Structure 1
Amino acid sequence: MPKASFEYLNGELERLQQKGMYRLPTVWSGASGPWMETDGRKLLQLSSNNYLGFTGHPDIKKAAIEAIEKLGAGSGSVRTITGTLDIHDELERELADFKGTEAALVFQSGFTTNQGALSLLGTDDLVISDELNHASIIDGIRLTKAERAIFAHKDMDQLELRLKENDGRKRAFIITDGVFSMDGDIAPLPEIVELAEKYGAFVYVDDAHASGVLGRNGKGSTDHFGLHGRVHIQVGTLSKAVGVVGGYVAGADVLKRYLIHKARPFLFSTSQPPAVAAACLAAIRLLRRSQPLIDRLWDNANFFRTRLQEEGFDTAGSETPIVPILIGAPDKTAEFSRLLLEEGVYAQGIVYPTVAMDKGRVRCIVTAAHTKDDLTFAVDRIVAVAKRTGLLKG
């Protein structure tokens, strides 16, 4: 019998390379920031989710160090045994107050938060999901036994049709991202809430890219639209703008108590290390006084997007600090990103299966830590590469 070997995987890897879809992680030297170093080169970073520059904030670092000294490196258990320390309880109370909900439950990552929260769904439920929702939502739905329906991106007529088709047969849950991670556009949450109330449905919003970005002091899309008390489940991340790692569900206290007993990622994963929980707590408290920083983030984003649009780039439906530049085929997208790297700008290409095969784009993310000079540098290099590749006429 032949010896087992993974050589069979090389064929698929070669196919990915030929189509411009093969990419290994870049290894960076030093901390996350607007300029980062790799292989001895300093590059302008346009692919980081560190929207507010919190990853290196002194208050957040200090909180993490003090937590290690007081509470150790790890929690020692899952939350339901001995892994709920006072720092975890304090973080959840702070999050609930910040989000304006009865309760909040923290998970170890944003991805597993959706898997855990969606365990709420069963055979008596219908989940209606925007077609461009994040992969963590899609995977979470697949793990449930709920009936499933999709509506075209932000298409309220089609959403209402799905609700009418249900005709009250099952409990309906409408699920949407608050900010869509690939196009940078914002969900029409007021219209979604109105339809939900008309048909007696629940509203579930994933604010991964809205937390720290939308709303007063970064409270998210529910606050942005003034919909407190009308959105049943708010999911958020503790990475991205918050600058650390983890995720949370904010909503009714009964929902929290249910998920404590039913959400498998919560039940079977060791809880956040004390340093992580303390850093998240410090970041949420910092958000409460960070409106000027959030204003700077939006000023930077609007400046950058406007400059690109004036040059003739297609930035899809971008309304936020996520600013895609549509390229097209995966190989052309990969080449555009590679040429930008040569020019000193790191902006990753996003291709199929993350986006449609013909919708490859270089996704740029603007942060509050960027200067106008940084962003002007980026636009100039992007224009030069676009003319070189024929995306723009020279």
Structure 2
Amino acid sequence: MELLKQLDRQLGLLQEKSLIRRRRNVESPCAPRVRVDGRDMLAFCSNDYLGLAAHPKIAAAMKEGVEKYGTGSGASHLISGHSRAHAELEERLADFVGPNLVEARALYFCTGYMANLAVLTGLAVGDKNSEIFSESLNHASLIDGGRLSRTSLKVYPHADVAALDAMLTASSASTKIVVTDSVFSMDGDLAPLPELLALCERHQAWLVVDDAHGFGTVGENGRGALEHFGLRSPYLVYVGTLGKAAGVGGAFVAAHATVIETLIQRARPYIFTTAAPPALAHALLASLDIIGGPEGRERRAHLNALVAQWQDGLRLQRWQRMPSSTAIQPVIIGGNEETMRAAAALYEQGLWVGGIRPPTVPAGTARLRATLSASHEARDVAQLIAALNELERS
């Protein structure tokens, strides 16, 4: 078939550019030490930042949730799929991040991707009366949400508050929405949220903050980037992911109660999908207990110590370590082929680090994306540091 030949040619072009992606089969629970395709590996590529994905208390809560609610929800939230577990989780989430919001209410979603699509398509009017201003390094879900909103979409340069100010000043839209990652997933740096919020309050704009990589890990109590910066405003719309530091799955949006009610009534990704299994919501209650309690603080302290160890120990000459203070620690190599060779060389040593290439990152900035977890030990990080320092010089 000519259609299949076209696809084969397209795949061949990806292969020539070292852009083919491969899946590996993990045969053990998510942890630093995993069995992958029959081989024992030390992994630095998951987003399980607090090491909760296989926590026994959360696993026990998941089992309890299955016994109590079964395995599936059976319908969308607005039909019959909204269980007591979902309601309790939303109440707890609103309380958890509520100190940084005004009249907070929360809404639980199956995935972070769906949450971001819902926020941008639900808040935007969809005509010339709305305008979205999106950070240039935003996650794909925010980019897609802006496109699906069917409204005007402008992109401002990375962390460029002055450029955004000029765009907002020039806009005549009655509904302005600024959207940004908090911790940028491929660079690991933090958005200038205090300055962005000040702009939004001055220009009467919503500030949508995708805290996928900050929730649980950033802030004294793990409440994320808003807590870290000490922000509070009715203009904030907060998106938190529950499949990364929280160790389970799904995501939530927290904002003023009127915003959440608007999403319930207008956001198609929420209205027209089956609710997540209630057992997940039940397990997340246990996860929140850990994140906000003494164990969560201990885990965050250990993670920060590992980040400091990484920054002190990595000695690169050709490659570039990004100035990140978070669990995401990229090493910029540049070319796709060299990046994948480096990832393969580490893998041969039993070290699993993701090689990230375009279109996930801009052309010419292919990188190794090392992610640290509170479940890693200092000796694990030391092993990767030594391997990288030697590999760059070989």
* TM-score exceeds 0.5: yes
Q: 1:230 to 1:255 in 2, by over 3 A?
A: closer
The CA distance in 1 between the partners of 2:309 and 2:319, in whole Å, is 14
Q: 2:301 is paired with a residue of what secondary structure? A: helix
Using the size of structure 1 for normalisation, the TM-score is 0.95
Q: 1:22 to 1:66 in 2, by over 3 A?
A: same
CA apart distance, 1:232: 1.6
Match of 2:289 among 282, 285, 290: 285
Q: Mean Cα displacement is larger for which, 152-161 or 311-320?
A: 311-320
Whichever residue aligns with residue 106 of structure 1, its letter is Y
CA apart distance, 1:9: 1.2
The correspondence of residues 183-194 of structure 1 with structure 2, limited to 5 A, is 183-194=187-198
CA apart distance, 1:40: 2.6
CA apart distance, 1:171: 2.1
Counterpart in the other structure of 1:391? none
Q: 2:170 is paired with a residue of what secondary structure? A: helix
The correspondence of residues 286-325 of structure 1 with structure 2, limited to 5 A, is 286-289=290-293, 290-309=296-315, 313-325=319-331
Counterpart in the other structure of 1:71? 69
The correspondence of residues 211-360 of structure 1 with structure 2, limited to 5 A, is 211-229=215-233, 231-289=235-293, 290-309=296-315, 313-360=319-366
Match of 1:121 among 114, 118, 124: 124
Q: 1:218 to 1:309 in 2, by over 3 A?
A: farther
Counterpart in the other structure of 1:41? 39
The correspondence of residues 24-35 of structure 1 with structure 2, limited to 5 A, is 24-35=22-33
The CA distance in 1 between the partners of 2:249 and 2:368, in whole Å, is 25
Counterpart in the other structure of 1:178? 182
Q: Is the 8 A contact 1:301 1:367 kept in 2?
A: no
Q: Which runs of 5+ in 1 are unaligned?
A: 389-394
Q: Mean Cα displacement is larger for which, 117-126 or 182-191?
A: 117-126
The CA distance in 1 between the partners of 2:298 and 2:235, in whole Å, is 27
Q: Is the 8 A contact 1:64 1:274 kept in 2?
A: no
Query: Deviations for 1:336-390, whole angstroms, at most 9, x for unmatched residues?
Result: 11111112111111001111110000000011111110001111111222122xx
Structure 1 position 107 matched with structure 2 position 112 = no
Q: 1:228 to 1:137 in 2, by over 3 A?
A: same
CA apart distance, 1:319: 2.2
Q: 1:55 is paired with a residue of what secondary structure? A: coil
Match of 1:93 among 91, 94, 99: 91
Counterpart in the other structure of 2:199? 195
Whichever residue aligns with residue 237 of structure 1, its letter is T
The CA distance in 2 between the partners of 1:332 and 1:231, in whole Å, is 44
The CA distance in 2 between the partners of 1:32 and 1:311, in whole Å, is 33
CA apart distance, 1:44: 1.1
Match of 2:142 among 137, 147, 154: 137
Q: Is the 8 A contact 1:193 1:230 kept in 2?
A: no
Q: 2:179 is paired with a residue of what secondary structure? A: strand
Counterpart in the other structure of 1:392? none
Number of residues of Structure 1 aligned to a counterpart in Structure 2 = 385
Structure 1 position 10 matched with structure 2 position 13 = no
Q: 1:230 to 1:256 in 2, by over 3 A?
A: closer
Counterpart in the other structure of 2:153? 148
The CA distance in 1 between the partners of 2:164 and 2:313, in whole Å, is 35
Q: Is the 8 A contact 1:29 1:38 kept in 2?
A: yes
Q: Is the 8 A contact 1:260 1:266 kept in 2?
A: yes
The CA distance in 2 between the partners of 1:193 and 1:309, in whole Å, is 37
Over the matched positions of the two proteins, sequence identity in percent amounts to 36
Q: Is the 8 A contact 1:47 1:365 kept in 2?
A: yes
CA apart distance, 1:230: 5.2
Q: Is the 8 A contact 1:222 1:231 kept in 2?
A: no
Q: 1:384 to 1:309 in 2, by over 3 A?
A: closer
Whichever residue aligns with residue 352 of structure 1, its letter is P
Q: 1:342 to 1:92 in 2, by over 3 A?
A: same
Q: 1:218 is paired with a residue of what secondary structure? A: coil
Q: Which runs of 5+ in 2 are unaligned?
A: none
Match of 1:20 among 18, 21, 31: 18
What's the Cα RMSD here? 1.5
Counterpart in the other structure of 2:164? 159
Q: 1:375 to 1:245 in 2, by over 3 A?
A: same
Q: 2:253 is paired with a residue of what secondary structure? A: strand
The CA distance in 1 between the partners of 2:178 and 2:134, in whole Å, is 6
